[in-house]
Amino acid sequence: MTYVKSVIAVLRKASFMGAFFLLLSTPSYAATSFCSIAPIKAEFSVKQVIDGDTVRLHNGRSVRLIGIDAPEMGGRGRTDQPYAVQAKQRLSALIQANNNKVSLRLGQEPRDRYDRVLAYLYDRHGVSLGEQLVAAGLAFNVALAPNTDFAECLSQAEEHARTSRLGLWKHAVYKPAQQVKAGGFTLLQGRIQKVQRNKGGVWLELGHSVTIQIPTQALAYFDPQTFEDWQGRILHARGWVADRKGQNSQYARWRLTVSHPSMLQLQ
């Protein structure tokens, strides 16, 4: 009941009107849709698709899709990232095919730091819109604890896109640690040179002033006995690289924080 109350509270604060259907169904995994759920009535009207992973509802609230990261649209002098327009168009088409309405399932963490609602979006057939973007190669799978309920099925959808070289995966490559020059979402690779533990969690140093942090609160998702065995191995990681220039000089300049095992792959 605690989860149900929290969902209702968020929806009320967001000024949703009328009767709402709370989506709590257990996903059923099918060969063509790993993250599908039981068919459900779409209750929330979409006013605008901002980009491939964000929509605005008619009540004015913005919703950020959980579990995916689509390429960024341009603006303020910036150019669109590759496949950003296609991702936005695909999400728009999926929503329009559903009479501009969607169903929502809120994450355990229902808001982000920008006060956007964090949710999985579904059409009236119970098909995940985020999964369809990932499976088409128009968004990357990302898992940010505690909103990781569908991390496994989204990983399967992405594997389909990657092996089929669809969309982003026609050209996507993991960037070597020594080539990191800017922050933002990155596919990163490097050899783990050192493993450290402290009150901040586990730190995997890749050299070239690049480190990967697994925060203390995220360690429960990992096997705690394995980290020291990772030293010397090649690691593929994904996530948002932060530039810590100007902070304590003893820290690596570039930090990528990972909160779920699906964001890492060892070789």
Q: Which amino acid is at 2?
A: T
Statement: residue 41 has pLDDT above 90: no
Residues 149 and 188 in one domain: no
pLDDT tens digits, residue range 138-155? 999 999 999 999 999 999
Confidence (pLDDT) at 114? 94
Which domain-ending residue is among 107, 137, 168? 168
Which domain-ending residue is among 136, 168, 200? 168
Q: Which amino acid is at 132?
A: Q
R_g of the chain, CA atoms, integer Å: 19
Q: Give whole-number Cα distances, 70 to 85, 101, 140, 190, in Å.
A: 10, 20, 6, 24
Q: How many domains does the chain have?
A: 2
Residues 159 and 198 in one domain: no
Residues 80 and 98 in one domain: yes
Helix %, strand %, coil % for the chain, to 5? 25, 35, 45
Residues 95 and 161 in one domain: yes
Residues 181 and 161 in one domain: no
- The β-bridge relationship of strands 184-191 and 234-243 is antiparallel
Q: How much is the average pLDDT of 70-99? A: 94
Residues 30 and 109 in one domain: yes
Confidence (pLDDT) at 33? 66
Supply the range of the domain harboring residue 248. 175-266
**Model pTM score:** 0.83
Whole-number Å distance between alpha carbons of 27 and 30: 9
Longest Cα–Cα distance in the chain: 57
Higher-confidence position of 15 and 50: 50
CATH number, domain with residue 64: 2.40.50.90
- As given in the structure block, the two tokens for residue 142 are 């990302």
Residues 144 and 258 in one domain: no
Residues 116 and 34 in one domain: yes
- As given in the structure block, the two tokens for residue 225 are 């006995």
- The β-bridge relationship of strands 184-191 and 264-266 is unpaired
Residues 141 and 250 in one domain: no
Find the helix or strand (DSSP H, E) in which 85 lies: helix 84-96
Residues 187 and 208 in one domain: yes
Residues 189 and 164 in one domain: no
Confidence (pLDDT) at 7? 39
List residues bridging with 245 in a β-sheet. none
The per-residue pLDDT of the chain, averaged, comes to 87
Whole-number Å distance between alpha carbons of 36 and 132: 10
CB-CB contact of 173 with 162 (8 Å): no
CATH number, domain with residue 187: 2.40.50.140
Which domain-ending residue is among 168, 186, 202? 168
Q: Give whole-number Cα distances, 11 to 1, 21, 47, 62, 182, in Å.
A: 15, 11, 17, 12, 37
Residues 156 and 188 in one domain: no
Statement: residue 156 has pLDDT above 50: yes
